[in-house]
């Protein structure tokens, strides 16, 4: 299936709304022509945006990379941390323009979703910096360093179409639906639906249409386009032996048997396009494995032929030796005797001389002999050669057996490789996972800011009157909130949240021990600066008494916590993490970079909780770590069970 221009307009509008103020957190390669953008917002859930030569859509599926993408490194270098500021479609073409801005930089990615498709990175002047496929045809050139140019347009812009634009149909000698499809750039499914709405036979020749028919076609087209673009959908997935497709609106689908309703057009696209990518991966793996299997089969066939050939040689040489011994019993004494020569000819053999040496050539094998030697001596040399050939068969058979085992192993591997294209549904995250978070030993949720934006968000959006607010006695401290349902004092939870507040502050990066943190009531937090003063983003004024807690050590634990059917990675003080998680790793400041610590923790967790830990990405571990260097001091099994 391919995207229609009117479908792309809906997608551009919808994705624009859902990604407003989002920035690029990461980019993942899927295959040669598909990339997954992880878009992040400080206060909203992450959005996973798939950009492929197939199209552009919001995805709930993460497919592990099965083929390298040559744009990936360049896009990461240029686009990480930049905001997705604009998504456009020019006219009704199947081309999307994504603008990324920030840090005095601006880039545009052009996604072309027709033909073989293309993904092109341009600067703000639309000079091409990198692209998937270069192009050099009569009307268009695409290459690094060239100015990007869209293909020439011959169709009518369906979004700005006027009634007069359709009058040409009345001079056409092709069927009306074909004319509409070509001139408006619409797939057959939409062209046919337009005539169904207009109640006109779609196979009517254009020159047989009347003015009133053209007006009906015009109105039907506008009606259909409006439904698709504005999201007035009733989406379904169509599957049959020939094709699979997703319809945003009913297109004669009432008569179709193999159709399933989906909650949204984007969900339907995600389902089908993800299936296409996964099948591509399986096909690629199958082809690679089949090449290896074919190579081994050819090798095995050559070894079988070699064994057969060597057996034949050995037998023939032995038969010549036996025949020579028979000549001895008949009184022949030399190999140069006429009877000896006739015997050799009978076995297609001969005496040859090369570079001063004499050989008996039997088949392709040359056995060195002395013409002056007796026939028994020559026969003995031939028997020795026959035996040597027989011994060679054993070596070849050993190699053949190894090849057979390798072939069997490769066939099994081929099946496993086909099933090894890994993909997972992107879990809908809890609201608190946008922030620092953990559950205290009392089971109370504590959330903290990651930066100035999330500091602001937790205070302005999530602070309630029964909560407690925490801050460390150091510049650069996050705010933490203990989400208490009742106004009761829980000393353990208060101390643990104070500990987390200090550890996630600048104190961790600088290994500053002996810090104090404090907690206050919500009403003590003033969200506005005093008159005449400026309050930086993420900062608040604390009024009144502060309840200080001395933090004697800087220790945190990373853990995997089971919640329902999901496993979440969290980080907090050691005691609650050990209590609430299936496994844990205690960390302290200094030594290793965050990515190395994350890899170490995952490696240790895989030893403890195998498949559970394998399903969690390195990025997930990095995200929960405190900023700065750390090192692992202890790992172990937590008190939470996998069955909880």
DSSP letter (8 states) at residue 428: P
- Partner residues linked to 27 by β-bridges: 37
Phi-psi region of 199 (alpha: psi -120 to 50; beta: other; left: phi over 0): left
Stretch 22-44: mean pLDDT: 93
SS3 320: helix
Please state, for a pLDDT cut of 90, what percent of the chain lies above it: 61
DSSP string covering 190-253, please? HHHHHHHHHT--TTSBGGG--HHHHHHHHHHHHHHHHHHHHT----EEEE-SS-EEEESS-SSG
Which phi and psi (to 5°) does residue 590 adopt?
Answer: 80, 165
Is 499's pLDDT higher than 90? yes
Kind and range of the H or E element at 604?
helix 594-614
CA dist 536 and 283 (Å) reads 55
DSSP letter (8 states) at residue 544: S
The band of 311, judged by pLDDT with boundaries at 50, 70 and 90, is confident
Stretch 126-135: mean pLDDT: 97
Kind and range of the H or E element at 69?
none
**Nearest to 519, CA basis, from 496, 539, 536:** 496
CA dist 478 and 481 (Å) reads 10
Rounded-to-10 torsion of CA 590, 591, 596, 602: -70
pLDDT digits (tens, 9 = 90+) for 583-630: 999 999 999 999 999 999 999 999 999 888 988 889 899 999 999 999
Which residues are CB-neighbours of 491 under 8 A, at least 6 positions away? none
- Asked whether the beta carbons of 476 and 463 are under 8 A apart, the reply is no
Task: Output the six-digit token pair for 464.
Answer: 């309630």
Domain ranges of the chain: 5-142, 299-417, 427-553, 555-644
Lookup result for tokens 């032996």: 241
CA dist 481 and 462 (Å) reads 8
- Asked whether the beta carbons of 410 and 285 are under 8 A apart, the reply is no
Class of domain 5-142: mainly beta
Stretch 554-572: mean pLDDT: 95
Stretch 456-469: mean pLDDT: 93
The band of 144, judged by pLDDT with boundaries at 50, 70 and 90, is very high
pLDDT digits (tens, 9 = 90+) for 179-218: 999 999 999 999 999 999 999 999 999 999 999 999 999 9
What pLDDT, on the 0 to 100 scale, is given for residue 101?
97
CA angle 465, 468, 473 (to 5 degrees): 140
Stretch 375-395: mean pLDDT: 85
- Where is mean pLDDT largest: 260-274, 450-464, 621-635? 621-635
Please state, for a pLDDT cut of 70, what percent of the chain lies above it: 95
pLDDT digits (tens, 9 = 90+) for 332-345: 878 888 888 888 88
């Amino acid at each position: 299936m391919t995207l229609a221009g009117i479908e792309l307009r809906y997608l551009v509008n919808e994705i624009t709304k859902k990604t407003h103020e989002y920035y690029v957190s990461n980019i993942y390669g899927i295959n040669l022509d598909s990339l997954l953008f992880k878009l992040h917002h400080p206060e909203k859930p992450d959005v996973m945006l798939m950009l492929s030569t197939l199209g552009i859509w919001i995805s709930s599926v993460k497919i592990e990379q099965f083929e390298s993408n040559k744009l990936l490194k360049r896009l990461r270098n240029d686009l990480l941390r930049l905001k997705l500021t604009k998504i456009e479609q020019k006219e009704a073409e199947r081309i999307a323009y994504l603008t990324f801005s920030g840090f005095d930089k601006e880039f545009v990615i052009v996604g072309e979703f027709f033909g073989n498709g293309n993904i092109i990175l341009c600067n703000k002047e639309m000079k091409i910096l990198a692209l998937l496929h270069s192009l050099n045809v009569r009307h268009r050139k695409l290459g690094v360093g060239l100015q990007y140019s869209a293909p020439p347009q011959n169709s009518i812009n369906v979004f700005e179409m006027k009634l007069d634009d359709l009058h040409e149909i009345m001079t056409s000698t092709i069927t009306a639906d074909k004319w509409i499809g070509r001139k408006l750039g619409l797939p057959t499914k939409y062209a046919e639906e337009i005539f169904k709405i207009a109640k006109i036979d779609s196979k009517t020749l254009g020159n047989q249409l009347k003015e009133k028919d053209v007006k009906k076609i015009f109105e039907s087209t506008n009606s259909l386009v409006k439904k698709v673009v504005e999201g007035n959908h009733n989406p379904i997935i169509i599957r049959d032996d020939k094709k699979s497709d997703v319809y945003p609106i009913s297109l004669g689908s009432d008569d179709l048997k193999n159709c399933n309703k989906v909650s949204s057009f984007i969900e339907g696209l995600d389902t089908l396009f993800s299936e296409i990518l996964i099948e591509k991966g399986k096909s690629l793996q199958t082809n690679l494995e089949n090449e290896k299997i074919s190579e081994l089969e050819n090798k095995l066939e050559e070894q079988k032929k070699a064994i057969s050939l060597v057996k034949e040689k050995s037998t023939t040489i032995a038969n010549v030796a036996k025949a020579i011994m028979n000549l001895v019993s008949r009184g022949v004494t030399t190999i140069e005797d006429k009877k000896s020569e006739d015997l050799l000819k009978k076995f297609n053999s001969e005496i040859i001389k090369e570079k001063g040496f004499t050989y008996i050539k039997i088949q392709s094998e040359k056995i060195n002999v002395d013409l002056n030697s007796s026939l028994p001596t020559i026969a003995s040399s031939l028997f020795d050669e026959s035996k040597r050939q027989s011994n060679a068969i054993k070596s070849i058979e050993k190699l053949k057996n190894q090849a057979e085992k390798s072939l069997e192993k490769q066939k099994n591997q081929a099946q496993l490789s086909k099933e090894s294209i890994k993909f997972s549904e992107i879990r809908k995250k809890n609201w608190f996972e946008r922030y620092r978070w953990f559950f205290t030993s009392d089971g109370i949720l504590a959330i903290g800011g990651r930066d100035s934006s999330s500091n602001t968000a937790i205070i302005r959006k999530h602070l309630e009157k029964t909560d407690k607010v925490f801050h460390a006695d150091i510049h650069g401290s996050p705010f933490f909130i203990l989400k208490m349902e009742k106004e009761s004092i829980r000393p353990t939870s208060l101390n643990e949240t104070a500990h987390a507040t200090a550890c996630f502050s600048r104190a961790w990066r600088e290994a500053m021990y002996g810090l104090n943190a404090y907690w206050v009531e919500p009403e003590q937090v003033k969200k506005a600066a005093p008159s005449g003063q400026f309050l930086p983003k993420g900062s608040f004024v604390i009024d009144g008494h502060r309840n200080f807690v001395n933090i004697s050590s800087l220790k945190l634990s990373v853990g995997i916590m089971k919640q329902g059917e999901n496993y979440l990675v969290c980080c907090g003080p050691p005691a609650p993490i050990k209590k609430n998680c299936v496994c844990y790793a205690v960390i302290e400041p200094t030594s290793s970079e965050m990515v190395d610590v994350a890899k170490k923790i995952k490696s240790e967790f895989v030893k403890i909780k195998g498949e559970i830990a394998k399903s969690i990405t390195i990025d997930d571990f990095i995200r929960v770590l405190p900023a700065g260097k750390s090192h692992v001091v202890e790992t172990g099994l937590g008190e939470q069970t996998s069955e909880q």
